[in-house]
Amino acid sequence: MSGSPAAVPVLRLEGVYKSFQQTDVLRGIDLTVNEHEVVALIGASGSGKSTLLRVINLLERVDDGRVWLQGEDISDPRTKIDAVRARIGVVFQHYNLFPHLSVLDNVTLASRSVHGIPRRAAEKRALELLDAIGLADKARDYPDRLSGGQQQRAAIVRAIATDPELLLLDEVTSALDPELVGEVLDLVRQLKKTGTTIVMATHEMSFARDVADRVAFLDQGSVLELGTPAEVFGSPREERTREFLARIPR
């Protein structure tokens, strides 16, 4: 762990509860994410991974508990949702890019409309980012001209174009054909190298093992096990973690 003892974590959740109708989906989640850290959320379908990410991004409000972003309580009902969202990048499983906007306009939209960066500067930065991932020649194309992997990479670039304090990735490869998964995961690896703080739900276990600093195993809305990849994958403490990992094809 780096930084001084006084360093404020990028994200802290304490006792987060969320239910829909009668169903308790998150049952007391505690989680801290430090700067430059990559935390992978793993767990069976329905265990609450997406809801957790949606709570962090204020797409859902917590029923109980607190969420802090850089020390600011964003679970406070008075929080300005748009202001928080502007500080967090998000990429979902699919349908990330606006189909009626060019790749370049997709990538620059938030910089221009939310952060007020002039078009020329926003486009210069966007083209640098697209160039870095080999997509500069697609900048003027509409998303449907790109492969699924290219679209997801463009979506990730869009999410980081505003230099968010935190990047949330929700199963960003699970809608892709297998041969396109690698290029998207490589981009996430690159982001980790540049110090992006990331919370990602994934069922790519070898990727989580390889890239995550810590892994949280969610089971029925609780973080049942939390540790380094070596701990969680190598010597899981909980029987349910072992069962889950045993069901995942290697």
Distance CA(235)–CA(237), nearest Å, equals: 6
Question: What does 34 interact with, of Mg ion, ligand ADP, none (CB < 5 to 8 A by kind)?
Answer: none
- Which residue, 170 or 183, is less far from ligand ADP as judged by CB? 170
Give the nearest distance from C-beta 179 to Mg ion in angstroms. Answer: 23
**Residue 118 binding partner per list ligand ADP, Mg ion, none, with a CB distance cut-off of 5 to 8 Å that depends on partner kind:** none
Q: Whole-number minimum distance, CB 27 to ligand ADP, in Å?
A: 11
As measured in angstroms, the least distance from the Cβ of 218 to ligand ADP is: 6
DSSP readout, 155-191? HHHHHHTT--SEEEEESTTTTS-HHHHHHHHHHHHHH
- Among 34, 50, 106, 111, the residue binding Mg ion under the rule CB under 5 A is 50
The CA distance from 125 to 27, in Å, is: 41
Binding-residue pattern over the window 6 to 45 for ligand ADP, x denoting contact by CB under 6 A? --------------x--x-x-----------------x-x
Centre a 10 Å sphere on the Cβ of residue 172 and count the other Cβ atoms it contains.
Answer: 27
- Binding mask 173-192 vs Mg ion (x if CB under 5 A, - otherwise)? --------------------
Q: Which does 47 bind (CB under 5 to 8 A by kind): Mg ion, ligand ADP, none?
A: ligand ADP
How far apart are CB 47 and Mg ion at their closest, in Å?
8
Partner in contact with 194, chosen from Mg ion, ligand ADP, none, beta carbon below 5 to 8 Å by kind: none
Beta bridge partners of 215: 40, 227
Closest CA to 79 of 167, 32, 21, 87: 87
For residue 61, give every residue at least 6 positions away whose Cβ sits within 8 Å of its Cβ, in sequence order, or none.
55, 75, 77
Binding mask 41-80 for ligand ADP (x = CB under 6 A): --x-xxxxxxx-----------------------------
Binders of ligand ADP: how many residues, by CB under 6 A? Answer: 11
* Bridge pairing between strands 198-201 and 214-219: unpaired
Distance CA 205, CA 227 (A): 14
Please state the closest distance from residue 208 (CB atom) to ligand ADP, in A.
14
CA atoms of 20 and 125, how far apart (whole Å): 41
Alpha carbon distance 25, 166 (integer Å): 23
Rounded to 10°, the helix 119-132/103-113 angle is: 130
**Residues of this chain that bind ligand ADP (CB under 6 A):** 20, 23, 25, 43, 45-51
**Residues of this chain that bind Mg ion (CB under 5 A):** 49-50
